[in-house]
Amino acid sequence: MSFDSNHSENIKMELVFSLRRAGVTEPSVVATMERVPRELFVPEVFRSRSYEDITLPIGHHQTLSQPAIVGLMTEALELNDRKKVLEVGTGSGYQTSILALICRRVYTIERHASLLQEAEKRFDKLRIRNVTAKVGDGTLGWEAQAPFERIIVTAAAADIPPILADQLSIGGIMIVPIGLGDNFQTILKVIKKENGFKTKELRDVRFVPLIPEEVTGT
């Protein structure tokens, strides 16, 4: 599906309104989300709904989060063009692309090889060159590239993942959905201090679970 210029402008404005309703006001985040073509990351059958504030399936029992949640989590990272970010769960690459356009470098891990291959094609199409990606177990982080100033986890964990916490630099921020089962999870903002962690609950959400030790080539 293609969008004509007038229709595209209207749906982009709807996106901005949904971000504002969710409390996302950081100009760099809003402008970047306007700029990234969300329809590129959506299966064709759902493309007409690309800019609705809803979660969409992307295959392998994974989802593309609603724009308001993507905006909220991105804003909470407090990014700038000097930050080095680890993303756990590349998925379609939508969140990755937004991060990459704001920060210095993104390292992203996806356990489904086919999802990562498709995401990398999208990075190429958008000429995004500051993303390094690999297939692997995101719960293990990326020790060779640690520490990270920012970490974002796009799947729900039972608690703050200890290995990821270890790979966060002092003063760094991790954004992670906490809670499993059928109930809502809570997005947690974790700030690493010299003597421990400071946490803040942001809002309730629903995410697919963070699954350790399972990497698939499909």
Q: What are the tens digits of pLDDT across the range 75-134?
A: 999 999 999 999 999 999 999 999 999 999 999 999 999 999 999 999 999 999 999 999
Do the Cβ atoms of 30 and 15 come closer than 8 Å?
no
The domains of the chain, with CATH numbers, are 5-205 (3.40.50.150)
What pTM does this model have? 0.89
In the block, residue with structure tokens 């994974």: 62
Q: What residue spans of 110-212 are helical by DSSP H?
A: 113-125, 162-166
- In this model, does residue 36 exceed pLDDT 60? yes
Do the Cβ atoms of 151 and 174 come closer than 8 Å?
yes
Q: Give the Cα separation of 106 and 150 in Å (integer).
A: 9
CA angle 81, 147, 143 (to 5 degrees): 125
**Residue 212, preceding peptide bond in cis (omega within 30° of 0):** no
Average pLDDT, the chain: 89
- In this model, does residue 49 exceed pLDDT 80? yes
65 is catalytic: yes
- In this model, does residue 182 exceed pLDDT 80? no
Catalytic residue among 2, 5, 8, 65: 65
Strand 168-178, strand 148-153: pairing: parallel
- In this model, does residue 5 exceed pLDDT 70? no
